[in-house]
């Protein structure tokens, strides 16, 4: 039952939080304790690899299983979420209890996703992750901008979700089952459609081109939301999907090259965006897109193991960087990189953030450097051009990592002081320390058994890198650091010497939102306006014409009816009235007169007969004699 309890436990914790009073210490302790218990359960599950099946019908069966790359992911999600939730409990006052409950539900939805062994369960987890992320991004629901940003992120990722629905439906149609292992039974054409759907869903969720701009909308959420969303949950879901299904879909000839193309283009574009951004959180968001692009490149090069390693190491250092950026924003009231430089004001935060920045830049012996080296080795083996693209992305990574650290936590300019309004508390520093420690702990992959451990956790193979690849990576990192330092000393690191308009356009995803608005939104709006006019002037005109014709025909029929149908009705009415009058006259003058005359005759006869009743016997003898005479006369006359 571990497979069932694992995703349910955080959800139960979320429900418990909603029943508690909104006290920072109490709700924070309950939330963190729930995640620590979930972490312990996930660790046990990663070893035992439990599973649970449920048959909804003879044809529809669902299955949860902690297996494959789902094992390290099940551990990673609560491991990263616990310090983030502790940070949220200490820093967020507005709707704290609701925020923590949503964060726990977010963890539960992600655990359901990584435990899914069939498309139906995967879809449920996938949709729940998207829904809860919408609620988290729009946490400050009284702010219209936050609501619009949440809707933008939700709708953009939902477009990609359609691909996963198509993939699930095609899998069931081809194999009669939703099982992920059933993909091998699908024919080549069906598998190609499934691959397209999976790639669309993964690209949208992991903010790959052309879906990348939604990551900026997600910045409307509180800092802990950004930290969890960018590291181990929502954005990680797309890369996880490709790592899980990449080997099964590799039989489609175009699939791996397409994944690699999407990944390398996003890694380069995201690197440029992160390099020119002037907002701290947006700079980190651009780097998130670029780093997930490298994971896509690794999958496209055939190394899901390298992609998995990069996903795990990225989760630790990116959540660390986001929480550090949150401290900087709280301290100064702004995320503008030109107004930070908090190295002297917040030395401990600066040191912890430096660990994350060095990991982002892939400086050995940090674990992120090891995973980056394995990605480079896989891409060089697959295609020299792809390897060259990864090297360029590595240079960009070193540049924007050093730029972020120097502008956010570098020393202030001579003669200036930072307007610090806030100092982090013990809980915030503890959260940053834990994430920095996890980042350093991942350096263990450089040990002799590290490669074997990663391969077993991801169930994939790793390419051994050449010496020149390591040397080239180190040289590019050094070049990036030197360039960033020189620009920092010359006070040009913020703008890079670029014109303001050009920098603004490049920072906004190289003008992609503007181009999208011009090439998609505006044409669709123009088409909608043209269709509305067509409806008003053509379709509605036809309807109005039919209505006019109906009214005219009704008028003509009304006039004619008055001369024909109405005339007949009036004639029948007059005949009926005449007959009634004649009947009444006949009744009065005939029937009633005869009845009255008969009544009078009966009355006269009765009066006359009454006079005969004298009571004298000789009168009655005379009457009898007359009667007999009359009867005799009648008899004689009748003979």
Please indicate, yes or no, whether residues 472 and 602 belong to a single structural domain of this protein: no
Please indicate, yes or no, whether residues 44 and 152 belong to a single structural domain of this protein: yes
Please indicate, yes or no, whether residues 581 and 444 belong to a single structural domain of this protein: no
Q: What is d(CA 182, CA 127) in angstroms, rounded to the nearest whole number?
A: 22
Give tens-digit pLDDT for 138-173.
998 888 999 999 999 999 999 999 999 999 999 999
Give tens-digit pLDDT for 406-415.
999 998 876 5
Residue 22 has pLDDT above 70, yes or no: no
Backbone angles phi, psi at 140, to 5 degrees: -85, 70
Please indicate, yes or no, whether residues 126 and 232 belong to a single structural domain of this protein: yes
> Is 207 a member of any domain?
no
Please indicate, yes or no, whether residues 602 and 454 belong to a single structural domain of this protein: no
Query: pTM of the full predicted structure?
Result: 0.82
Give tens-digit pLDDT for 572-596.
767 777 776 776 666 666 666 666 6
pLDDT at residue 593, rounded to an integer: 66
pLDDT at residue 639, rounded to an integer: 59
Please indicate, yes or no, whether residues 367 and 230 belong to a single structural domain of this protein: no
> Is 573 a member of any domain?
yes
> Is 223 a member of any domain?
yes
Q: What is d(CA 100, CA 422) in angstroms, rounded to the nearest whole number?
A: 22
> Is 326 a member of any domain?
yes
Final residue before a domain boundary, out of 467, 490, 507 = 507
Final residue before a domain boundary, out of 462, 491, 507 = 507
- Mean pLDDT across the stretch 616-631? 68
* 568 DSSP assignment: H
Number of domains in the chain: 3
Please give the structure tokens belonging to residue 74: 């099940």
Buried b (16+ CB within 10 A) or exposed e, 340-354: bbbbebbeebbebbb
- Mean pLDDT across the stretch 57-61? 84
> Is 210 a member of any domain?
no
Place 537 in a pLDDT band, splitting at 50, 70 and 90: confident
Q: Is the peptide bond before 365 cis (omega within 30 degrees of 0)?
A: yes
> Is 52 a member of any domain?
yes
> Is 334 a member of any domain?
yes
Please indicate, yes or no, whether residues 503 and 568 belong to a single structural domain of this protein: no
| Element holding 266 (H helix, E strand) | helix 255-276
Percent of the chain with pLDDT over 90: 63
Taking Cα atoms as reference points, which of 358, 356, 325, 355 lies closest to residue 342?
325
3-state secondary structure of 612: coil
Q: Cα-Cα-Cα-Cα dihedral of 246, 312, 372, 456, to 10°?
A: -60
pLDDT at residue 599, rounded to an integer: 65
Q: What is d(CA 360, CA 362) in angstroms, rounded to the nearest whole number?
A: 5
Domain that holds residue 421: 314-507
> Is 253 a member of any domain?
no
Residue 606 has pLDDT above 80, yes or no: no
User: Any bridge partners for residue 63, and if so which?
Assistant: 53
Please indicate, yes or no, whether residues 503 and 575 belong to a single structural domain of this protein: no
pLDDT at residue 275, rounded to an integer: 95
Q: What is d(CA 371, CA 354) in angstroms, rounded to the nearest whole number?
A: 19
């Amino acid at each position: 039952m571990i497979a069932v309890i694992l995703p349910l436990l955080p959800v139960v914790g979320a429900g418990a939080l909603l029943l508690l009073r909104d006290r920072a210490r109490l709700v924070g302790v309950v939330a963190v304790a729930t995640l620590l218990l979930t972490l312990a359960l996930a660790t046990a599950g990663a070893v035992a690899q439990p599973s649970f099946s449920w048959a909804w019908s003879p044809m529809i069966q669902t299955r949860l299983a902690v297996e494959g790359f789902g094992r390290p992911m099940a551990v990673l999600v609560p491991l990263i979420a616990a310090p983030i939730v502790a940070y949220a409990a200490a820093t967020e006052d507005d709707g704290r209890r609701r925020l923590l409950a949503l964060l726990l539900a977010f963890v539960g939805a992600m655990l359901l996703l990584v435990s899914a062994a069939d498309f139906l369960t995967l879809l449920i987890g996938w949709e729940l992750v998207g829904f809860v992320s919408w609620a988290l991004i729009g946490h400050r629901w009284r702010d219209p901008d936050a609501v619009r940003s949440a809707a933008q992120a939700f709708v953009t990722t939902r477009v990609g979700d359609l691909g996963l629905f198509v993939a699930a439906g095609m899998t069931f149609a081809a194999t009669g089952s939703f099982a992920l292992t059933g993909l091998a039974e699908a024919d080549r054409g069906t598998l190609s459609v499934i691959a397209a759907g999976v790639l669309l869903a993964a690209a949208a969720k992991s903010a790959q081109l052309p879906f990348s701009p939604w990551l900026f909308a997600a910045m409307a959420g509180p800092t802990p939301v950004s930290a969890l969303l960018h590291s181990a949950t929502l954005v990680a879901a797309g890369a996880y999907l490709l790592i899980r299904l990449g080997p099964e879909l590799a039989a489609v000839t175009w699939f791996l090259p397409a994944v690699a193309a999407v990944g390398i283009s996003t890694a380069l574009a995201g690197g440029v965006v992160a390099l020119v951004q002037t907002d701290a959180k947006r700079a980190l968001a651009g780097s998130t897109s670029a780093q997930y692009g490298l994971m896509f490149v690794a999958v496209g090069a055939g190394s899901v193991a390298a992609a998995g390693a990069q996903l795990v190491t990225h989760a630790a250092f990116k959540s660390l960087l986001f929480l550090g950026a949150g401290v900087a924003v709280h301290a100064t009231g702004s995320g503008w990189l030109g107004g930070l430089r908090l190295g002297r004001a917040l030395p401990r935060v600066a040191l912890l953030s430096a660990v994350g920045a060095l990991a982002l830049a892939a400086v050995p012996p940090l674990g992120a450097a090891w995973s980056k080296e394995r990605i480079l080795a896989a891409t060089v083996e697959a295609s020299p051009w792809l390897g060259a693209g990864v090297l360029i992305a590595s240079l960009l990574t070193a540049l924007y990592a050093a730029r972020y650290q120097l502008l956010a936590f570098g020393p202030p300019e001579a003669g200036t002081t930072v307007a610090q309004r806030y100092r982090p508390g013990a809980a915030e520093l503890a959260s940053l320390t834990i994430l920095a420690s996890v980042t350093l702990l991942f350096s263990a992959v450089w040990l002799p058994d590290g490669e074997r451990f990663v391969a077993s956790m991801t169930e994939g193979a790793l390419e051994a890198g050449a010496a020149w690849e390591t040397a080239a990576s180190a040289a590019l990192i050094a070049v990036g650091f030197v360039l960033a330092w020189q620009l920092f000393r010359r006070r040009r690191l913020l703008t890079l010497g670029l014109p303001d308009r050009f920098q603004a356009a490049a920072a906004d995803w190289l003008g992609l939102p503007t181009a999208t608005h011009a090439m998609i939104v505006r044409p669709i709006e123009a088409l909608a306006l043209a269709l509305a006019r067509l409806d008003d002037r053509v379709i509605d005109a036809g309807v109005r014409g039919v209505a006019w014709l109906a009214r005219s025909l009704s008028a003509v029929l009304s006039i004619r009816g008055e001369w024909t149908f109405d005339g007949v009705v009036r004639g029948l009415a007059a005949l009926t009235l005449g007959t009634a009058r004649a009947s009444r006259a006949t009744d009065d003058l005939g029937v009633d007169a005869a009845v009255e005359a008969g009544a009078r005759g009966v009355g006269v006869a009765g009066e006359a007969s009454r006079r005969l009743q004298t009571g004298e016997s000789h009168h009655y003898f005379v009457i009898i004699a007359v009667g007999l005479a009359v009867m005799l006369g009648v008899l004689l006359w009748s003979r």
